[in-house]
Amino acid sequence: MLTQLREIVEKVNQADSLEAAMAVLVVQIRDVMQVDCCSVYLVHDALNYFTLAATDGLAQGAVGNIHIEFNEGVVGLVGQKEEPINLADAQVHPRFKYLAEVQEDDYRAFLGAPIIHQRKVLGVLVVQQRCAREFDKNEESFLVTLAAQLANVIAHSQSKGFLAAPNRNKKNIRSIKGIAGSSGIAIAKAQVITPQVTLEMIQTEHTEDVTAELSRFKSALAKSTDEIKALAIRLKGQLPSEALAIFDVYLHMLAEASLSGEIKAQIKQGYRATTAVKLVAERYVAQFSAMSDPYLRERATDTKDVCQRLINHLIGLEPPSLLADELILVAEEVTATMLANVPKEKLKGIVSVKGSANSHAAILARALGIPALMGMALPIEKLSHSLLILDGYSGELYVSPEQAVLLEYQGLLAEEKQLDSIMRDCLEAPAVTKDGVKIEMLLNAGLSADTEIAINEFADGVGLYRTEVPFMLTESFPTELEQSERYRGILQTYAAKPVTMRTLDVGGDKQLPYFPIIEENPFLGWRGIRLTLDHPEIFLVQIKAMLRASIGLNNLQIMLPMISGITEVDDAVRLIHQAWSEINEQARMQGQHLRKPKLGVMLEVPSALYILPQLAKRVDFWSVGSNDLTQYLLAVDRNNPQVADIFDSFHPAVLQALQHIITQAKQHQVSVSLCGELAGDPLGAVILMAMGYTKLSMNTYNIARIKFVIRHVAIAELQAILAQAYELDSGKAVRQLFAQYLEQKGLGGLVRAGK
């Protein structure tokens, strides 16, 4: 049965349209189950009725021509009840609806299974038999299992199929959903970029003339290197240095010790230069793609990008010309250099079939403030020169939209521009509420593109510097010197303001290529402080690097991630003291004094919330990691799209936890901030302020808009709403309540942007 199931799903998957897939499906099922008739009914997305999508056994003329409401017929009942219905004789069932055009008079036995994707009924799968009999348990479970497996396939191909017949129904306003890689709205024509010769197209060819091939490769390498350097120089004024580091990664890849050396070795073995590039690229791409860390997996794209560039130069291909004055760049895989090639004034948005929010293209897009959608399952050739609306908040893409949708988005775009300029204006103003409460605005830094130099002066310091990325960019643990140079840069950038550096938080979904951790449950495993305490040699080197970087600046604060017990803090304190004594001694010999940095812990593991008094005695500050706290409190993997709806930092339990922390912080007089995503969300920020949080740490993009919100609200008013919020049963209701308040304050546009 398993084999049959798999075969059917595979065949359906191979079909090139939804219609063809459904036609294959019904024939297959009828054959495998040996029934007299099989049909599939799909729900019309906007109008919410079932239509016959395919049948093997009913009248073909009825396909696409009958409508069944959810409250009609036995098919409607399956959809309504969201469960299988097995009837020996459907014709005597009170809900049986006679439709002459389907010609089902001969059929009596009926088995229907709902096709449900993410709680939404997409359709009903039905098998029928002439004789009156109940279907047996095996038949029922086969159909139910098949319907569950098909739900994904149908949901996916519905979004693809939509493009094949746009505007089929004028009343039906539909969009395609992807991953919002960078927020904002863009309206422009699509410029689809498809490489003329891809790596996959390169044939394996050998050469007799190794010297000539080596010299061809050298020249292509020089051109590619120059191009990447030129791109970095061109973007220098527009991008923060952390984002520009992406181009360093590319240059690093082209270096002798990396790709180039290996490509040359292949040429020396007798391969033509193009083949050598392909072989090396394939190997690297396979290695990166197999990694479980999403950041590192994305490096497969970078490898392809760099190698594609080499191929283009080896073959002598011209870069594509960009026709329109304003365009949305669309490609199978938008890469960082593809993006950098388009002048910023032309580039309005990005749509990429492959990639995620971790892709370098998405990171660059965020740094440039350009809306981007990633992971869009669509046949991009069909988009060429079509007008697109890209909604980088909701992740939706509209192709050749109707006038009404266009008008609505044009209005939103104008509003967004206006709001943006108002928010920019208020960047310099103090973050003080209408009733005079000052909020400290701190930055989350360290993730490639998140440190915008221009914003430094408007933030009160760094609330979270994630140190993982420097560790991910090297091929072995970085040395104390390498680390301290990097840390010094950041401490200097924010000199005279506190900079909170978090010790290494790898494990979970963050892996180091040179230190693989293989575990069944990585988020519950060897992560953060657990790992570094087991390796004091790694921990001490990092602490010493931080301390050394702080000599003469003294603005360092150290923070420990994933604390779940007191002994972890005690052990870490001992090691930090040991490192400090050593570095301070060296500093003293140079006539300098190294102040002992303040020490803090992240509150992100629920157990920490029950030992707050003990923690208060041991550390100077707490910082709430609301991302992990939500994940662990609600037992929901923060990276699993299947349960993304359950991950909710507004859940009443999370709110109670946050309230408990701030109450305890006041009682024990410990400074507390919040550095999870919640602080940068307008609704999250106002809830936190209502609770009494006065230190919020967020990425650069959010600083302006949260400052804007702060300046428009009054804590006393927020507290009254919070009291009502505590009575509510769901995160959704809490959000709605605070959203109403923000709307009254004229901040409705921001709430939309925040969700």
Active site residues: 360, 675
In 559-651, alpha helices (H):
566-589, 612-618, 626-633
Measured from the CB atom, the residue of 104 and 505 that comes closer to ligand PEP is 505
Measured from the CB atom, the residue of 354 and 466 that comes closer to ligand PEP is 466
CB of 213 to ligand PEP, least distance (A): 46
CB of 508 to Mg ion, least distance (A): 8
675's contact among ligand PEP, Mg ion, none, with CB below 5 to 8 A by partner kind, is ligand PEP
Q: Is 64 left (phi over 0), alpha (psi -120 to 50) or beta?
A: left
Measured from the CB atom, the residue of 296 and 713 that comes closer to ligand PEP is 296
CA distances from 255 to 225, 265, 308, 336 (A): 9, 14, 16, 18
**Is 568:599 a contact under the CB 8 Å cutoff?**
no
CB of 626 to ligand PEP, least distance (A): 5
Query: What token pair was written down for 753?
Result: 């942007």
CA distance 619 to 560: 10
In the DSSP assignment, the letter for residue 693 is: -
275's contact among ligand PEP, Mg ion, none, with CB below 5 to 8 A by partner kind, is none
Measured from the CB atom, the residue of 586 and 627 that comes closer to ligand PEP is 627
CB of 633 to ligand PEP, least distance (A): 12
Measured from the CB atom, the residue of 227 and 505 that comes closer to ligand PEP is 505
Measured from the CB atom, the residue of 391 and 628 that comes closer to Mg ion is 628
Segment 640-679, which members bind Mg ion (CB under 5 A)? none
Of the candidate spans 45-53, 114-122, 417-425, 620-628, the one that interacts with Mg ion by CB under 5 A turns out to be 620-628
CB of 502 to Mg ion, least distance (A): 9
CA distance 508 to 636: 13
Q: How many CB atoms lie within 10 A of CB 650?
A: 23
CB of 528 to Mg ion, least distance (A): 8
CA distance 222 to 219: 5
Segment 586-615, which members bind Mg ion (CB under 5 A)? 604
CA distance 561 to 623: 9
For 741-744, which contacts have Cβ atoms below 8 Å and span 24 or more sequence positions? 741/686, 741/713, 741/717, 742/682, 742/683, 742/686, 742/709, 742/713
| Binding stretches for ligand PEP (CB under 6 A) | 464, 466, 505, 604, 625-628, 675-676
626's contact among ligand PEP, Mg ion, none, with CB below 5 to 8 A by partner kind, is ligand PEP
CA distance 58 to 110: 13
CB of 472 to ligand PEP, least distance (A): 13
Which of 277, 378, 394, 366 has the alpha carbon at shortest distance from 331?
378
Of the candidate spans 251-259, 506-514, 568-576, 621-629, the one that interacts with Mg ion by CB under 5 A turns out to be 621-629
Segment 428-457, which members bind Mg ion (CB under 5 A)? none
CA distance 182 to 28: 42
Question: Which residues face 132 on adjacent strands?
Answer: none
Measured from the CB atom, the residue of 399 and 558 that comes closer to ligand PEP is 558
Query: What token pair was written down for 503?
Result: 């010790």
452's contact among ligand PEP, Mg ion, none, with CB below 5 to 8 A by partner kind, is none
CB of 483 to Mg ion, least distance (A): 20
499-502/462-466 β-pairing: parallel
Measured from the CB atom, the residue of 225 and 659 that comes closer to ligand PEP is 659
Element (DSSP H or E) covering residue 481: helix 480-493
CB of 493 to ligand PEP, least distance (A): 20
Measured from the CB atom, the residue of 121 and 499 that comes closer to ligand PEP is 499
| Residues 6 or more apart in contact with residue 747 via CB below 8 angstroms | 682, 708, 709, 712
CA distances from 220 to 44, 209, 301 (A): 53, 17, 20
CA distance 525 to 517: 9
Asked if 628 is part of the footprint of Mg ion (rule: CB under 5 A), the reply reads yes
CA distances from 73 to 89, 96, 97, 673 (A): 14, 5, 5, 57
CA distance 20 to 36: 21
CA distance 389 to 401: 7
179's contact among Mg ion, ligand PEP, none, with CB below 5 to 8 A by partner kind, is none
Which of 336, 410, 391 has the alpha carbon at shortest distance from 367?
336
Binding mask 548-587 for Mg ion (x = CB under 5 A): ----------------------------------------
Measured from the CB atom, the residue of 444 and 448 that comes closer to Mg ion is 444
466's contact among ligand PEP, Mg ion, none, with CB below 5 to 8 A by partner kind, is ligand PEP
Binding positions for Mg ion, rule: CB under 5 A: 604, 625, 628
